[in-house]
Structure 1
Amino acid sequence: MLAGWRWLDRIGKVTPGTHAAAQFGSFGAHSSIGFPSATLMNTGSIHVGSGVIIGRQATLSVGYWPDYPGLPERGLVIGDRCVLGDRCSLLAHESIELGDDVWFGQDVFVCDASHGYQDPDLPVGNQFGSHVPVKIGAGTWVGHGAIILPGTTIGRNAVVAAGSVVRGEVGDHCVVGGAPAKLLRRLEPGVGWVGRRGDVRPVRRGHFGEEEFESA
C-alpha cells in the first residue's frame, strides 16, 4: 500500500510537462504542486513562477466557479522560488500577486473578495462583496494559519506571525502579528529592528545570522 501511495504521489504531482501544468496560464521550470491538491480551478488565469513548491491539499482558484465569465488573465500570480505549505488556499477574483521568494507556513488563507451582509432578506453567502487586489512583496514570510484579507498589501521581506489576521498595508521589513494584526517590530536603517516599546534587536547577516551588524 505504501509503495502504491508513493507511486501515486510521484505521478500525481503537477510539474512542467504534465497535462495539468499545461492548463495553467504559465507554469515555470522546476515547480511542483503536491498530490493530492484540494482545488485547482480556472488554472488558465493562474501563473506559477520557476522553482515554486506548493504543498499537498492546496487550493488555487480564480473566479467563483469553473469557466466563470470574464476571468482576469492574471488573476493569481505566484513569483519565482515561492514555497507554499500544505493546505494553503489562495482564492482570487480580481488579483492576488505574490512576489519572488515568498514563503507560507501551512493552512494560510488569502482572498481578494468577501461577502456582503446588508440585505437582511438575502443569505449572506449569496451577497458577493467587492473585489480588492492583494499583493505580497518579495521575500516575505507568512506564518502557519495566517489569514490575509481583501485589499491587503504587504511589503518586501516582511514577517506575518502565525495565526494573524491581516488587513490593510504592511510596510517593507516589518513584523506584524495578532488578530487583527498589529505592528510588532520594524527595521530602522542604522539602528536595527525596533520593537513597539523601543527595544532594539541588531541586524544579523547570513542565512543563520552568523555575522552581527553593529547597531547605531
Structure 2
Amino acid sequence: MRRRLASRVVHTGWRWMQQAGAVTAQTPGRLRFGAIGDGTRLAFPQGTVFGERWIRLGGHCIIGEQVTLTAGMMPDLDLGAEPMLVLGDGVVIGRDSHVIADARIEIGSNTFCGPGVYITSTNHSYDDPHEPVGRQWPRSAPVEIGPGCWLGTGAVILPGARLGRNVVVAAGAVVRGEVPDHAVVAGAPARIVRRWTPETGWQPPLRTPAPVPIPDGVTPEQLRGLAELTEAELAEVERAEAELADAGLAEAGLAEAEK
C-alpha cells in the first residue's frame, strides 16, 4: 500500500514538474531568448541552453526534453547584433538532440527532427599533426536547413551544410555540403538516394501507395474530431455508415421494383 501510494505521489509530482518547468513565451523562467513565439514550448527538463539572447524561436515550436540549444562557443560572449540560431514556425526538435551554433544556424519552418539529432556549425580541425585535435582551433561555417524537412533519428548535420526544401535525411545519416529540394539522403557521408522533380516525379519511384485524398467537404475540425474518437465510438460510426448504406440499397431496390 505504501509503495503504491509513493509511486502515485512520485508520478503526480513529476507530471506537475513537467508542466511547471516547461518554458514558453508566457513562462520563460530564467531563459531570456532573443524571441520566442506564441505556442512554442521547451519541455522540462531542458538540456544545456546558453547564448539565448542570440537565439530566436518561431511560433508553435516543440522542443523535446534534454535538448541542447547554444549560441556561441561558451556562455556570456557578445555575439553582435544578429541572431546566431533561428528556428522558423512549427519546428519540432526531438528529445536528446543538440543544436550547436558557433556560426549561424537557420532551421526553416515546419522542419521536424527525430530524437538524438546533432546539428552543428563548428567542428574540430586536425591540421597540425603534432597537436592534440581537441586543442586546435575549431572551424565554423553557417548551416541552413530549408522548410518542411525531416531529419531522422541520430542524423548529423555538419558545418556548411545547406539543405533545400522538403529534404528527408535518413536515420543516422551524416550530411555535409548542399542537398537540393525534395531529395532523400542516406548514409555516412550522406548521398542522394531518391529525388522528386516536376518533370519526372520521384526517382526511383515510390513503392508506397499513393495518399488517400481527403473527401470534398470534410473540414479540419471534422478530421480532428474523428482522430479523437475511441475505438468503440469508431465502431459505432462504422455501424451507422453500414446501416445507411443498407438502407440506401434497400430503397434503390424498392424503387426498381416499383418501375
Question: Normalized per residue, which structure has more helix?
Answer: 2
Tell me whether the two structures share a fold, i.e. TM-score over 0.5. yes
Look up the match of 1:201. 206
Look up the match of 2:190. 181
**TM-score, normalised with respect to structure 1:** 0.89
SS of equivalent residue, structure 2 residue 44: coil
* Deviation beyond 6 Å, 4+ runs, structure 1: 202-205
User: Counterpart amino acid of 1:210?
Assistant: V
- Judge conservation of contact 2:155–2:174 (CA < 8 Å) in 1: yes
Look up the match of 1:125. 134
Q: Tell me the percent identity.
A: 42
Gaps of 5+ in 2: 1-9, 214-259
- Judge conservation of contact 1:88–1:106 (CA < 8 Å) in 2: yes
C-alpha separation in 2, matches of 1:12 and 1:73 = 29
User: Counterpart amino acid of 2:100?
Assistant: L
- Judge conservation of contact 2:31–2:52 (CA < 8 Å) in 1: no
- Which structure has the bigger radius of gyration? 2
Look up the match of 1:87. 96
Look up the match of 1:144. 153
2:180 to 166, 171, 184: 171
Following superposition, the deviation at residue 137 of structure 1 comes to 0.3
For each residue in 1:181-211, what CA deviation from the matched residue of structure 2 results, as whole angstroms up to 9, or x when unmatched? 010011121422002xxxx238987xxx114
**Which structure has the higher relative contact order (CA within 8 Å, separation 6+)?**
1
C-alpha separation in 2, matches of 1:194 and 1:51 = 33
SS of equivalent residue, structure 2 residue 29: helix
Task: Determine whether 1:101 maps to 2:110.
Answer: yes
Where in structure 2 are the equivalents of 1:66-81 lying within 5 Å?
Answer: 66-71=75-80, 73-81=82-90
SS of equivalent residue, structure 2 residue 60: coil
Following superposition, the deviation at residue 71 of structure 1 comes to 5.0
C-alpha separation in 1, matches of 2:23 and 2:61 = 11
Look up the match of 1:214. none
Task: Determine whether 1:64 maps to 2:73.
Answer: yes
Count of aligned positions: 204
C-alpha separation in 2, matches of 1:74 and 1:110 = 17
Look up the match of 2:222. none
Following superposition, the deviation at residue 141 of structure 1 comes to 0.5
Question: Normalized per residue, which structure has more strand?
Answer: 1
Following superposition, the deviation at residue 121 of structure 1 comes to 4.0
Gaps of 5+ in 1: 212-216
- Judge conservation of contact 1:117–1:127 (CA < 8 Å) in 2: yes
